[in-house]
Structures are given as C-alpha cells and as structure tokens.
Amino acid sequence: MLYLTEPDRLGDLLEDQPAYRATQLREWLYEHPVLSTQAMTNLPESLRNLLAEDLWPFTVDVAQSADAGETVKWLLRCHDGAPIETVLMGYRSRTTICISSQVGCAMGCTFCATGQFGFDRHLDAGEITAQVAYANAVMSEYPLPHSPPRVSNVVFMGMGEPLANYGNTIESIRRMIEEMGISARGITVSTVGFVPGMRRLIEEPWPVNLAVSLHSTIPSERSKLVPINDRYPIDEVVEAAGEYYLRKGRRVSLEWTLIAGENDSDEEAIGLARIARQIHAHVNVISVNPTPLSNDEPPDRDAIRRFVGTLRREGANVTIRDTRGKEIDAACGQLRMRSEPHRDGSLRP
Ligand code: SAH
Ligand code: SF4
C-alpha cells in the first residue's frame, strides 16, 4: 500500500532495488502524482507492474462534475469497503480540495448527513493524503477548464471531525506541506469545537487556518444542533479559538450553517458578531443543505439578508459561502447517502 506507508519507509517495499528508487517513488507519489504506475517512466517495468495494484488506497465508485466542469466530486471506496467523499473546486487563481478525515462522524450534529450516519472508523494518514494526490493525478491528465491544475488549497470539510482523528490528520498535514509542497496557509482544518485537538494544534509548527463550526451562541440551542457542546461548551471553544489567533497570528473563521427558525434570529446574529469581534474572527455563513434524515430547511432570501445585515451592523466580517456542486450533492455526506454506486473502478472524472 504505497500511500499507507510512511514516506520514509517506502524503501522497505523495494527490497532488492537500489536506494535511489525510494526517492524516485516518493517524487511520483507526492510531487508529481500519476493515475497509474505505468506513468512512472523512470522505474523499471517489472517494478511498475509489481506496484500497480498498490498505488491507490481506494477505488472510484462515483465521479461527478458540475459548475461547467469546475467542481468534481468523488465517492471513493477504501479497500475495506469504507466510503469517503472528496470534492475538488476550481477557481481562477486557486484549486481547492475538500477532503474527508473519517468514515462517518461520532459528533452527531443533527443537520449533517455524515453525523446522521454515525462513526465507522478513522482514516489513516495515507488515506487522507491520497485524496489530495489523487486529485493532482487526475488533473495531470484532465485539468479543470480554467483553474490551476494542482491543488493549492485544502479544507478538512468533508466527512468526519479531523481533530478527533488527531494523529492521522497531523501526519497528513505534514505530508501535504513537507512532501507535496502545499503552503500551510492554504490548508484549513475545520472543527466542530473539539477543544483538546484545538489546543494541540496551537502547539504544532504549521500556521494552518482554523475554521470553527459554531452554529449557535446560545448554549442550550447549540447543544441541540451540536451535541458535543455538552462536553466542550461554547465558552471553551471560543477561548481556544481566540488563543489560536493570538498564538498563530491566523484569523480564525467561524462557520455558521443557517437553518430556518433554528439559528437565524437577531439574537443569534448579535451573539455571533460579539464573538467574532472579541476574537477577531471572520464569519462564513452557509445555508443548510437539506438532508433526508432531518426537516431542516434553509431560510428564505430575506431571512438570510436580515441575518447577515445584523451581523455586519454589529461589526462582524462576513462572507456568504457559495455552495458549489449543489446538483451533485456535494455537501457533506450527501453523495454517499443518495448514490447507488456502480463500482466500475473507473478513474476518469
Ligand atoms: N467536522 C468538521 C468538519 C467537517 S463538516 C466540522 O464540523 O467543522 C464541514 C462543515 O460542513 C461544517 O461547518 C458543517 O457545519 C457543515 N455542514 C454539515 N452539514 C451541512 C449541511 N447539511 N448543510 C450545510 N453545511 C453543513
Ligand atoms: Fe461531524 Fe462536522 Fe458533521 Fe458535525 S458537522 S457531524 S462534526 S462532520
């Protein structure tokens, strides 16, 4: 399993090969990923054949594109059958990938398709990193129409709570930065407010971005939407986020999934703006994507305008996040929920 092997140990897989083969392989895996070992032209054919089956830690169940080809979503299937979702989004000046860190999630947020599934298992550092490498490999053959043909930005906003899978998340971040050459400033870890992980992340050497999914400022309401609030209450989450900003010098973003009648009141907007001012954070508002197992609805346009207007009036910096790939269920956990996988293993997007 090439991506499941620590980069330093790749040589162990190449017993009777000269030492420089490990360096060559490392370059193919991380610096210039390719879809098939056959494209690893400086390796002997016998070795390419030997490694062929072990290149990717998953096969492709479903690949879909939207937004005139600038959004691609994959439902990947790990070798134990575990499904993971990855979404690639091209913009003029950057190419962003949204990756999964776990199969399912134990946090149980009521509006989230992944949370509704429950937790299956952690992803290995190699399975996390390989999502980025796979996208780069696809783009080396099929670039997005108007976007850089290489991942420049990574967001941990797919399935799972990355800070509850701390060791694998951090090792994947290390590989992205040190092996793949992605800038730490282009990487965003999104957390539901898993405080011990936030505190550990502060101590890491890399200035990655931190996004904190808040969704409510009223403790009893937040506990309803985000049950982990009972264990790590909002005050502790905000304190850790504030410390992250002070220690790392990186502005934290506060994620707010807006749900009609749940968290779109003036009271919530005023509370959110107060927190944003207090810790110099940026607010990202996104309308909820309805999921089959909940009745949550996005607010209408006027309610969104009102909520964002109140936030701005109260001095918060706000962006309304665009929802890429709506028609392909690109929101968290949704492709897995609705698709009937065809399992043809095809690699083409
Ligand atoms: N577990 C982490 C990262 C994965 S979820 C976290 O919760 O931050 C990434 C983002 O998607 C979170 O901000 C989450 O609130 C949001 N999200 C989940 N389900 C959603 C839905 N149905 N509609 C809109 N956003 C959703
Ligand atoms: Fe897990 Fe994030 Fe979904 Fe909550 S929103 S259930 S933390 S993936």
| 76-97: pLDDT as tens digits | 999 999 999 999 999 999 999 9
Q: Determine which helix (DSSP H) or strand (DSSP E) holds 243, and give its type and residue range.
A: helix 234-248
The ligand 1 atom nearest the CA atom of 190: 8
Q: Report which of residues 336 and 158 the model is more confident about.
A: 158
For residue 223, is pLDDT > 70? yes
HEC readout, 122-170: ECCHHHHHHHHHHHHHHHHHCCCCCCCCCCCEEEECCCCCHHHCHHHHH
For residue 160, is pLDDT > 80? yes
pLDDT range class, residue 327, cuts 50, 70, 90: low
d(CA 344, CA 338): 17
Q: Which residues are catalytic?
A: 85, 332
Mean pLDDT of 112-140: 96
Summarize pLDDT for 253-272 with one digit per residue, the tens. 999 999 999 999 999 999 99
Instruction: Give 286 Cα–ligand 1 centroid separation in angstroms.
Output: 9
User: Is residue 173 lining ligand 2, measured as CB closer than 6 Å?
Assistant: no
pLDDT range class, residue 141, cuts 50, 70, 90: very high
Mean pLDDT of 241-253: 97
Q: CB 121: neighbour CB atoms within 10 A? A: 14
For residue 169, is pLDDT > 60? yes
For residue 42, is pLDDT > 70? yes
For residue 33, is pLDDT > 90? yes
What integer best gives the mean pLDDT of the chain? 92
User: Is residue 124 lining ligand 2, measured as CB closer than 6 Å?
Assistant: no
At residue 13, the pLDDT reads 92
User: Is residue 114 lining ligand 2, measured as CB closer than 6 Å?
Assistant: yes
- Give the position of tokens 């309308």: 287
Mean pLDDT of 103-107: 96
Q: Which of 90, 97, 186, 181 is nearest to 143 (CA)?
A: 90
At residue 117, the pLDDT reads 86
Q: Is 158 exposed, middle or buried (0-12, 13-18, 19+ CB in 10 A)?
A: buried
The ligand 1 atom nearest the CA atom of 191: 8
Q: Report which of residues 333 and 153 the model is more confident about.
A: 153
- Give the position of tokens 């940026």: 282
For residue 345, is pLDDT > 50? no
Q: How far is CA 203 from CA 167, 170, 208, 257, 328, in A?
A: 13, 12, 11, 29, 38
For residue 346, is pLDDT > 50? no
At residue 64, the pLDDT reads 92
Instruction: Give 192 Cα–ligand 2 centroid separation in angstroms.
Output: 6
Instruction: Give 215 Cα–ligand 2 centroid separation in angstroms.
Output: 11
For residue 63, is pLDDT > 70? yes
Q: Is 2 within 8 Å of 29 (Cβ atoms)? A: yes
Instruction: Give 104 Cα–ligand 2 centroid separation in angstroms.
Output: 9
At residue 221, the pLDDT reads 98
pLDDT range class, residue 339, cuts 50, 70, 90: very low
At residue 348, the pLDDT reads 40
For residue 325, is pLDDT > 80? no
Give, for ligand 2, the residue of 98, 112, 194 to mutate: max count of ligand atoms closer than 8 Å to Cβ: 112
